[in-house]
Structure 1
């Protein structure tokens, strides 16, 4: 009865792949046979100009959630970064390409939904990242692009490439729906503008039942391969386009009338010939790997069939700098599929082949600048599919295997802030370990310990402490690291005020050092130098000047540990008379500035009691020379060298009297972000119930208008964020954030203030175990029927 649907004429093996994706997009947890198992699997790979490797695939976040995962590895196989696409609906990655500027384009499919209900229907998805893994744009988030990428009821992108013209080319298939029946499947190939991801050209190849699986681009040639179905026979299909997707020719090939075959991938060789690989159904028990070389006009030059009496498949193909052809996929030994690679000369002679020890299949391969082969796919471990990424030499020797699915080797590491703490500082320790640790133990070297991931600790004594962090992985393995933390004396803080602010000669001036303090002790001595040869001692002293003029008054304090700190201010003493001198004052937007950062000054609080202020003069380094003069009370300045600068403002009134006011500005080169966010790495929620968590935000400098921002989210999660706030240097604020989740997922948070931002803090949200509803009974019945049909045809 099922054969009345034209859908079933297509290759059952390729259909199984498509159905697996449709099942993922339709929330059916009850159907997960081995043939359609879908946990973590890599589908695409590309190599950039530095030899770094980018892999894309699917990652199972939870039992009802899959996302596109993009990873970047160094040429040595060490993971550099990992990103999961942040859409709220199900999505998977199928292909990846890298342009000459290092931008990464990850392609796949994303599920649709109506009123929040996922449908067994998908659209093409393309996400653009920079070389560091920062998402730039995607086709799903922009409504105009989302509509552009929707061609049929279900659209699945299977492969993509970057052309020499800089455009992105992608291919896959689009399912047509008539009434309640899937009536047709066609190739859908698109040309995409890399700047905005808009489709600039497209072509639908409609022969019978057509499914595209591979694409390659070289010079002005685009080649798409797949399968066409007619009268229950599947055939190789190769379509050659120009760069504007005009068809130059299409070739359909099959092994006699009774043998089905389907092409999986293609590569264009330097001379313009085209190598295609896939499978051929030889008899009732055997699938073999079929590789064909066509010349640039579509004439067949040679074919090679590899296999035995089991199920074997060529899933991907590439070429090296010598024009050799590399085919990969799997071969079945007994009942177990294993990774398989074979290398041909351009003439079709076998250079070598190998059945590797990996149970699973290779989905895609790429060749780097040294002709090494990078193969990606899955490895079956304990009944589950796991990412598998391997690099082989040109001769087929295994060079390395990358960590599966980003599960890096456990390696303990931590940092702390401030980097040079004092006894007065609450030191924030930050776990930076690799390999997803699940438990932590800190030994602070002073007899105290903690099991928090990111603890806060304060030392009572000056000294050098050996701090040890031990981390454990979920499998019980552990790793430790010890680093030395040097705790120093906190220098005292010096400042003073004086009154009156506009003194005249002979008038007694009171100098008050009550603003001075020592964070980890006490002030033992106050010494005043009034700039006229007189010295005084004490917290509060008095002094008068016999002559008018500007005097540099210096206060030096010493704490109980012997540390000293000095501060000076310029004081203007005017001639006694009828004119009242002006009063100078200013505020500054930051007292702690970064090197080269512009600082704003506002002297509008200055005034003249019996007239008006004509001039505002600024001395930016306290050397007694005024660098700039304005008639308005506003100024900006930036410093290009580190240091503590005394900024002096002099104001002059309409009678020629002057007065001064001073403040210190600290200028430093900061190697870390000025805002630091600390959040729990993982939390568990009850579905649909709100939970409060604590997020800590700390500033290393004065930062105003700080907001905690949600910058990434996967899953059906809602979060309430606090209102903006201000932070002074070394101040920490504890925020209460409310979270509610309908599905598991991940949230990424960042603190952003005036000119400052933090690193990203990521929180993984898991739901307490519960039931997952099915999508619809009719879809379940169809899925089971198709699986049974697939088993019957492939057994």
Structure 2
């Protein structure tokens, strides 16, 4: 078994060397990581850059209530670029409040949205586990809560995504089961709900969008011309009475400022799919990402680039382990994209072994070609929530990780902040050291070779006699006399490497 794994690893190495001219552009280096613990399980959602250059970490902390039911409170922190806390705010009301998205306002404050079962001014109907209205709240630049609002009907209504429009209004996208209260009309058992509010949280426009069954809006983005994009999932191919799909399909629509749907596209998959994040590029193309079920392979990470009319230009699927989940995509200054997500099992192209859910980042160039992919994890669950481009080549990522800050016998989920910096291949600074006087060694004598490098995590030696090694400091003996060229390849990340040779051929006598 070990010999088989070693052979597969060598095959992977040679594959990476074969595509090096295309892929070996930059590699990621983890330069900082910090953890943030509240009393309960902490579930991050969003990461923002504040106007003064700090970082906003937003999510929820989950604790059992008096009845023993898990209940969430909104938790928002501000930290500096080294991860030091500047302030934090936890919102505790009579019930459960869950933050889903957050945005910086023109006055440097924060507008956040989610779901609440505390601020409900009407009677909710149905299973108590599905009670809730859309939550909207505002904090000032120091984290002080200025106001809280809720909107909805008598069934479950919740918000998932938020974007600021061109007239300082905000579009909130989510889902509704209601047909009363603040929701007028409806199409299926649940519909996409597009709610537009002003900077005081007062409604300007409310519109359900749906088909014949369940639809959910999961992501939204503002277009250059002021239109909105809404991504999500749908069981139906259009408005009732069109047919119902047995599995939810990824769905994307474009909507004008007045709420008119310009076009709507569905992307069916045999086992179901969803599109959870979307953005528009500076040239007007649309990038949308999510995950889709592939029979026999599990759930794979999936992203597309479309033109302004919703027609596919690029379609990419990245097979990994059994379950891949996309949580966020962000445009990079060079026209590329960085994606964040998590995987239940490790992908075939990564030789490291971890466990549970693992946090991953994936970086592509403007043409959609892979630049690098990096996974972070341990024996328990780690999940990515968001990724932020702080400046070209410097990224901050936010996720969750199991730790035990309170007691050694108790493991909690905590916010996990990482800073990742991109470097070109020559930053690896690979070199070879060998214990040989004047580059001469006797045959059948073990000789120590040592890899020298600034950055690197894997190694491939070619000793010139048909033998290789993947150790950083292998012990090697030659059977035959002669002149040999010794080469070393140092790998940094999954797609970047630097190859060097001894300045002179090694003489074996």
Whether 1:210 aligns to 2:157 is yes
Secondary structure, aligned partner of 1:402: strand
**C-alpha separation between the residues in 2 aligned to 1:198 and 1:159?**
18
2:310 corresponds to: 348
**C-alpha separation between the residues in 2 aligned to 1:308 and 1:200?**
44
Q: Deviations over 1:65-105 (max 9, x none)?
A: xxxxxxxxxx9532221122122322111111112322111
2:369 corresponds to: 397
2:104 corresponds to: 162
Whether 1:81 aligns to 2:32 is yes
**CA 1:152–1:391 in structure 2 vs 1: closer, same or farther (change >3 Å)?**
farther
Structure 2 counterpart of 1:198, from 131, 139, 144: 144
**CA 1:264–1:746 in structure 2 vs 1: closer, same or farther (change >3 Å)?**
closer
2:173 corresponds to: 225
Whether 1:270 aligns to 2:242 is no
1:380 corresponds to: 344
Secondary structure, aligned partner of 2:283: coil
Secondary structure, aligned partner of 2:357: strand
Q: Is the Cα–Cα contact under 8 Å of residues 175 and 182 in structure 1 kept in the other structure? A: no
Q: Is the Cα–Cα contact under 8 Å of residues 79 and 402 in structure 1 kept in the other structure? A: no
Q: Deviations over 1:309-334 (max 9, x none)?
A: 32110111122222322111011110
Structure 2 counterpart of 1:302, from 263, 280, 286: 263
**CA 1:318–1:152 in structure 2 vs 1: closer, same or farther (change >3 Å)?**
farther
**C-alpha separation between the residues in 2 aligned to 1:158 and 1:381?**
26
Shift in Å, 1:175: 2.8
User: What is the count of residue pairs matched by the alignment?
Assistant: 333
Q: Deviations over 1:713-756 (max 9, x none)?
A: 95434xxxxxxxxxxxxxxxxxxxxxxx5535799xxxxxxxxx
Q: Deviations over 1:248-287 (max 9, x none)?
A: 11111112xx321110010112222110000011335222
**C-alpha separation between the residues in 2 aligned to 1:293 and 1:241?**
19
**CA 1:114–1:339 in structure 2 vs 1: closer, same or farther (change >3 Å)?**
closer
Q: Is the Cα–Cα contact under 8 Å of residues 222 and 240 in structure 1 kept in the other structure? A: yes
Secondary structure, aligned partner of 1:363: strand
Whether 1:241 aligns to 2:197 is yes
Unaligned runs of 5+ in 2: 1-25, 180-187, 237-243, 347-354, 380-402, 415-509
Q: Is the Cα–Cα contact under 8 Å of residues 39 and 61 in structure 2 kept in the other structure? A: no
Structure 1 counterpart of 2:295, from 315, 323, 334: 334
**CA 1:205–1:76 in structure 2 vs 1: closer, same or farther (change >3 Å)?**
farther
When the two structures are superposed, what TM-score results if normalisation uses the length of structure 1?
0.39
Shift in Å, 1:125: 0.9
**CA 1:114–1:241 in structure 2 vs 1: closer, same or farther (change >3 Å)?**
closer
Whether 1:102 aligns to 2:58 is no
Shift in Å, 1:171: 1.2
**CA 1:212–1:95 in structure 2 vs 1: closer, same or farther (change >3 Å)?**
same
Shift in Å, 1:384: 2.7
When the two structures are superposed, what TM-score results if normalisation uses the length of structure 2?
0.60
Shift in Å, 1:372: 1.6
Matches within 5 A, 1:415-434: none
Q: Deviations over 1:456-508 (max 9, x none)?
A: xxxxxxxxxxxxxxxxxxxxxxxxxxxxxxxxxxxxxxxxxxxxxxxxxxxxx
Q: Is the Cα–Cα contact under 8 Å of residues 270 and 294 in structure 2 kept in the other structure? A: no
Unaligned runs of 5+ in 1: 1-74, 141-148, 408-712, 718-740, 748-795
**C-alpha separation between the residues in 1 aligned to 2:161 and 2:291?**
17
1:319 corresponds to: 280
**C-alpha separation between the residues in 2 aligned to 1:78 and 1:403?**
11
**C-alpha separation between the residues in 2 aligned to 1:324 and 1:375?**
17
Q: Deviations over 1:20-78 (max 9, x none)?
A: xxxxxxxxxxxxxxxxxxxxxxxxxxxxxxxxxxxxxxxxxxxxxxxxxxxxxxx9532
**C-alpha separation between the residues in 2 aligned to 1:175 and 1:114?**
13
**C-alpha separation between the residues in 2 aligned to 1:95 and 1:83?**
16
**C-alpha separation between the residues in 1 aligned to 2:301 and 2:103?**
24
Shift in Å, 1:379: 1.4
Shift in Å, 1:406: 8.6
Larger Cα Rg: Structure 1 or Structure 2? 1
Secondary structure, aligned partner of 2:164: strand
**C-alpha separation between the residues in 1 aligned to 2:329 and 2:260?**
26
Q: Is the Cα–Cα contact under 8 Å of residues 187 and 212 in structure 1 kept in the other structure? A: yes
Q: Is the Cα–Cα contact under 8 Å of residues 155 and 174 in structure 1 kept in the other structure? A: yes
CA RMSD, 1 decimal:
2.9
Q: Is the Cα–Cα contact under 8 Å of residues 273 and 294 in structure 1 kept in the other structure? A: yes
